[in-house]
Amino acid sequence: MSTDAILWHTLSEVLESSGNVTRDPVKNVYYDEVNDFDHVNSFQFLDPLNLPGGTINVVNIQNAASLYAIMILGDEMGIFRVADTILKYVTMGRVDVESTTTATRLYNYMQLRDNRTSFEERSMWYKQVFNIGNGNTVSDMVVNEGFLPLWETYMGEVIKYIDKYEGAEDPLRVSKSGIHQVVTDLQHNLSRAAAGMVKIFVPEMYAHLEDAIGIINAEELRDQLGHGISRDLWNIVESVSAEEFSYYPNTSALRTIADSARNIILDIATYNQVTFSEDQFQAMVKNVEAFIIAQNQLQGGSTGDYNEGDDYEGDLEELQEAEDNWDF
């Protein structure tokens, strides 16, 4: 029997069936009564209250918060490359180390360098989760192209809220619905984008950042490498970057961006329209405001044209040869 004949036969059976029984010719299912389609109460699976608990993954979003801060401090500000440069300076005898603690820290940092994530690997994770930077992704890895549009929309909604809040007679009556909607969208976006292997690498990258800061912030190295009166961690990052990479990072603005963005994403992870208090909401708004102000400071400024592989890779052989000469 041809396809047309089968379809005609099925339709004929439906038309000839009892008025009290309807038949679905596709599923071949019979009902005892007419199946009236309810246009009002259907599609309940779209109701946010009916979403399964696993749709929003708090841990994934929190990992994204840490990854963003690592991206800004470690690679955009340049903490990783500054620590590598200091290691090179010490190895080549440009700066001296007397403290056993500092020398041991440097030696351990050198020994672990090949086991840590590389600039290329970190750039891949930044690209996957935030679609930021020029990192190369592996085959079939999905880049989170939705993050930046949502992030910019979130900033815009907060700006509109602040304008209305400051001009309102009763600020508590200013609608938060726009912010609520985009935060919900960001929750789903980052729950998906920050899943998988990136969660395994974030703690490792953070440990690398802590070790790098420990080297840069060693007092005897600050005394030799810093400029001016305030020879702190940030002063060393600025001084070494200016001398080695012809790049003077705005450490103040970048610190604010890293801190505020991390707090914003942590707030997104736990945000709930019902349970979020007014104080929590206003704190989130202040973090967004701080992020926008700091980000505006960097607009049009140099972010450096540093490529970690270009500047440090050439020294690895020299460092390898010098390893056996370390004596503490």
Q: Where are the domains of the chain?
A: 3-36, 56-299+313-320
Residue 229 is predicted with a pLDDT of 73
One-letter amino acid at 314 equals G
Residue 99 has a pLDDT of: 87
Tell me the C-alpha distance between 118 and 125, whole Å.
11
Helices (H), the chain: 3-16, 58-70, 79-91, 100-112, 119-130, 147-167, 177-193, 198-216, 219-225, 233-245, 251-270, 278-298, 308-312, 316-322
What are the pLDDT tens digits along the chain (328 aa)?
A: 666 666 666 666 655 655 555 555 555 555 555 556 676 766 776 665 555 455 789 999 999 999 999 999 999 999 999 999 999 999 888 888 988 999 999 999 999 888 899 999 999 999 999 999 988 888 888 899 999 999 999 999 999 999 999 988 898 899 999 999 999 999 999 999 999 999 999 999 999 999 999 999 999 998 888 877 778 899 999 999 999 999 889 999 999 999 999 999 999 999 988 889 999 999 999 999 999 999 999 875 444 443 444 444 444 444 444 444 444 3
Q: Which position has the token pair 């910019």?
A: 152
Q: Please count the CA atoms within 13 angstroms of the CA of 88 that sit on its side-chain side.
A: 16
Number of residues that make up the chain: 328
Residue with the two structure tokens 């690398």: 208
Rounded Cα distance between 258 and 269, Å, is 17
Q: What is the pLDDT of residue 84?
A: 94
Q: Which amino acid, residue 207?
A: A
**219 Cα distance to chain centroid:** 32
- Degrees to nearest 5, angle at CA 33 with 29 and 34: 85
pLDDT at position 179: 95
Q: For residue 285, how many C-alpha atoms fall within 13 Å in the half-sphere facing its CB?
A: 21
**In the prediction, which pLDDT does 326 show?**
45
Nearest to 194 by CA among 64, 59, 18, 75: 64
DSSP 206-241: HHHHHHHHHHHT-HHHHHHH--SS--SHHHHHHHHH
pLDDT given for residue 141 in this prediction: 85
